[in-house]
Structure 1
Amino acid sequence: MNMKGVVLGVAGALAVTGVQAADLAVAPEPVDYVRVCDAFGTGFLYVPGTETCFQIRGRIRADYRFAITGQGNFGGVNYQKRNQNAYNFRARAYFYSDSRTNTEYGLLRTFAQLEIQTQTANGGDSRVNLDQAFIQFGGLTFGKAYSFFDFYQTPGFFAPFEPAHSDQNTLMAAYTFAFGNGFSASVSIEDNTYRQNQILRGGYVNYGGVRWPDLVGNLRVDQGWGSAQLMGALHEVRSPFNGVSNELGWAIAAGVVVNLPMLAEGDNFGLQAGYSSGAISYVAPNAWGPAARVADARIIRGDLKLASSWSIAAGFQHFWAPNVSSGFGVSYLDVDQAAKRFDYSNWDIQGNIVFTPVAGLETGFELQYKQTDLKGRNNAGNARQDKDMLVGTFRVQRSF
């Protein structure tokens, strides 16, 4: 056999082998399907190829708020003034992202909450707000999250607008130590600017540049009967004027929430009280003061005199049926701004009824009454006129 015959024979054999190989089924690449992660509750899935669980959630809320009677501006409505609306319509979208991974050093978690809102008030303003964005690793927390001072809110639609408790997301770095059996202690350094009000010097002026963040700490217990917390904060108050001393403000508060399943599943009662000096936002972040202004201090003859305040709030939530509930709340705030003609007190009373026709959909109506007792006299020497408001709100909310 000559060389040409050998080459042709080998080529033919290779061709036959190639055809047979092409006819063979090729094994597919393995598919890494998304799996349900039930370690952290419903709605979590595993990130393919990892042991990280993630969850994407959302909420759409529509509020229709009407001033029924009274004077003053509250929540974007005013019943009396001709240049302001007596109603405020608002639509808000929430988006939540949550990821969690168990590690040998503890839980590694990231969480973000984005809010997009438009409303009638303020000329139909629209805004986008990064409400929360934090990393947790073991007991550490970094980013923007609920203040470690905050604890209780009465069960109202507009609970953050009540005068007598704290509800503030803030930039922070914190550590929480768990003792076991539901007991824990936390210490946090938090952005001072989120807690600043103004300073009185004839009129109202803003803070000067502060040098230290706030120092916040709490002791907390969470058990089957409910939860309780004792909390405190240190807050630098710094004047923008040279020659005026700086002062260290502070706040302390305590709260308890007691579960009442003997009345109905989901029922609870809450109570919280606090006192502050130069740090009103820790006990009243939404005080309804004269001209809607609040001061942490007053400058008197070159000295910075801190304002003091105390507050108390209580609330009760009751389920008339598994899909029908009501919330009732009352709170009181007293503010001494180191100047009698600027002192005042607030009452806030509210009640609502909420109906859940299907899972994830809530509809409800709420009435809220606010009253401000303005102490002292005005520049003309006349007693200042108190103000009050009655406001109604209808809400539709879908969570998914």
Structure 2
Amino acid sequence: MNIKSLLLGSAAALAVVSGAQAADAVVAAEPEPVEYVRVCDAYGTGYFYIPGTETCLKIEGYIRTEVRFGRDQSANGVSDWSFWTRGNVQFTAKSDTEYGPLTGVIVLQTDADNATDNGGTYLDSAYIDIAGFRAGLFYSWWDDGLSGETDNLASYSTLHNSFRYQYESGDFYAGLSVDELEDAIHTGLGEDGNDLGIAAGLGGKAGAFSYQLIGGYDTDTEEGAIRGMATVAIGPGTLGLAAAWASGPNAYFEESEWTIAAEYAIQATDKLKITPGVQYFDNVKNGTRDGNFVSTTDFSDVDVWKAGVTVDYQIVENFYAKASVQWQDRTFTEDSDTVSGYFRLQRAF
């Protein structure tokens, strides 16, 4: 055997061995690509895509703490002040459909008030919204009000399970809703426990002027109410006016037979707003009192005046302070002046 044959044989043997070893080698799989959270800017700031879907989600909320003072701040009526705290978290999901954005909203709140033993976590809102239709648990148009804390322009409860349609075109809207009123403060006054309400509303903006006109009919008490509000920018602030009338106590408005309110929100600086307000009630409600709960029965022949001032200040971005002091010339049970109010700190996110 010559040297050439020996070299060729050795090369062939090495090739066979190398091939066998290559066949037994373990090849590492390519790593799966990581899907990072993507920003969704189709519906405004704060939304992001839920990984693996085309649904956009926004998480927001606030932490609010208040020191309240005034009459009956405790369950037994012996404390004239209380410390109160709330945590609020809102989840908003949106996705595109052939009918427009499909929206789902869930709002959870936890309140802590040791003075009245009023606390716990509860569902504040939960509804579905698409093509102008809304169904679920949400606040009605009656929850809207002037910007200060003086006005009282709706009944105790404005949160209902409802079906609503609202048409919107530019700065104008109009709608109709059917509301379940079983949880209203006046429950039990009527003969029938199947309490439904029908409400209608319209409103909008025109330059520096905004307006709203709403009405509601309570099928249980067979009474109704209407309310109008308007604001207009004048000088360094905004003038707000409102009036409401009720045929009798009902789930939409039960404070008085009619009322008128006014305020002027002064934007003193970019961060400071001062809002004095006044309200007059004609023929205020009668009722029976059980602790902090008042059951309205009818209207009286008593008139009431209320006045106050609210101060809002932005300490830094997303951190706010609010102070409110209100005077009223009559309580539920006796003719006397009362003063109440609160100091609030709120961190929004």
Check whether the contact 2:330–2:338 (CA below 8 A) recurs between aligned residues: no
Which one of 166, 180, 188 corresponds to residue 176 of structure 1? 166
Post-superposition CA distance 1:24-43 (Å, at most 9, x none): x6433222221112222222
Q: TM-score, normalised by structure 2?
A: 0.81
Structure 2 distance, partners of 1:118, 1:373, is 26
For the residue of structure 1 that corresponds to 2:311, the secondary structure is strand
Aligned to 2:120: 127
1:27 and 2:30 aligned: yes
Distance 1:344 1:127, change over 3 A: farther
Code of the residue aligned with 1:168 in structure 2: it is T
Percent of aligned pairs with the same amino acid: 27
Code of the residue aligned with 1:360 in structure 2: it is N
Code of the residue aligned with 2:102 in structure 1: it is L
Aligned to 1:221: 204
Aligned to 1:387: 336
Check whether the contact 2:108–2:125 (CA below 8 A) recurs between aligned residues: yes
Distance 1:41 1:340, change over 3 A: closer
Distance 1:234 1:281, change over 3 A: closer
Code of the residue aligned with 1:274 in structure 2: it is A
1:16 and 2:6 aligned: no
Structure 2 distance, partners of 1:277, 1:42, is 44
Q: TM-score, normalised by structure 1?
A: 0.72
Check whether the contact 1:154–1:328 (CA below 8 A) recurs between aligned residues: no
Structure 2 distance, partners of 1:147, 1:114, is 18
For the residue of structure 2 that corresponds to 1:13, the secondary structure is helix
Check whether the contact 1:346–1:373 (CA below 8 A) recurs between aligned residues: no
Which one of 265, 269, 272 corresponds to residue 324 of structure 1? 272
Distance 1:340 1:51, change over 3 A: closer
State the 1:254 CA deviation. Answer: 1.3
State the 1:275 CA deviation. Answer: 0.8
Distance 1:320 1:208, change over 3 A: same
Aligned to 2:220: 237
Check whether the contact 1:283–1:311 (CA below 8 A) recurs between aligned residues: no
Structure 1 distance, partners of 2:298, 2:45, is 54
Check whether the contact 1:192–1:212 (CA below 8 A) recurs between aligned residues: yes
Code of the residue aligned with 1:270 in structure 2: it is G
Check whether the contact 1:149–1:218 (CA below 8 A) recurs between aligned residues: no
State the 1:367 CA deviation. Answer: 1.2
Structure 1 distance, partners of 2:233, 2:77, is 46
Structure 1 distance, partners of 2:89, 2:284, is 40
Aligned to 1:300: none
Code of the residue aligned with 1:359 in structure 2: it is E
For the residue of structure 1 that corresponds to 2:315, the secondary structure is coil
Which one of 152, 159, 180 corresponds to residue 145 of structure 2? 152
Structure 1 distance, partners of 2:17, 2:41, is 59
Structure 1 distance, partners of 2:310, 2:144, is 21
Structure 1 distance, partners of 2:195, 2:171, is 32
Post-superposition CA distance 1:275-316 (Å, at most 9, x none): 1113444235xx4xxxxxxxxxxxxxxxxxxxx711122222
State the 1:228 CA deviation. Answer: 1.3
Alignment of structure 1 residues 306-345 onto 2, 5 Å? 309-335=257-283, 342-345=300-303
Aligned to 2:179: 190
Aligned to 2:192: 209
Distance 1:252 1:392, change over 3 A: closer
Structure 2 distance, partners of 1:229, 1:219, is 6
For the residue of structure 2 that corresponds to 1:16, the secondary structure is helix
Q: Where do 5+ consecutive residues of structure 1 fail to align?
A: 1-8, 68-72, 199-204, 239-247, 288-307, 375-383
Which one of 93, 106, 109 corresponds to residue 103 of structure 2? 109
1:370 and 2:318 aligned: no
Larger Rg: 2
Check whether the contact 1:151–1:255 (CA below 8 A) recurs between aligned residues: no
Distance 1:60 1:330, change over 3 A: same
Aligned to 1:291: none
Structure 1 distance, partners of 2:124, 2:22, is 68
Check whether the contact 2:37–2:50 (CA below 8 A) recurs between aligned residues: yes
State the 1:372 CA deviation. Answer: 2.1
Aligned to 2:3: none
Check whether the contact 1:98–1:111 (CA below 8 A) recurs between aligned residues: yes
Check whether the contact 1:60–1:92 (CA below 8 A) recurs between aligned residues: yes
Post-superposition CA distance 1:32-85 (Å, at most 9, x none): 221112222222111123222111112111111223xxxxx45x269xxx9510
State the 1:359 CA deviation. Answer: 0.7
Count of matched residue pairs: 324
Aligned to 2:345: 396
Post-superposition CA distance 1:94-141 (Å, at most 9, x none): 11111112222012111122111111432x432323111111011110
Structure 2 distance, partners of 1:107, 1:181, is 17
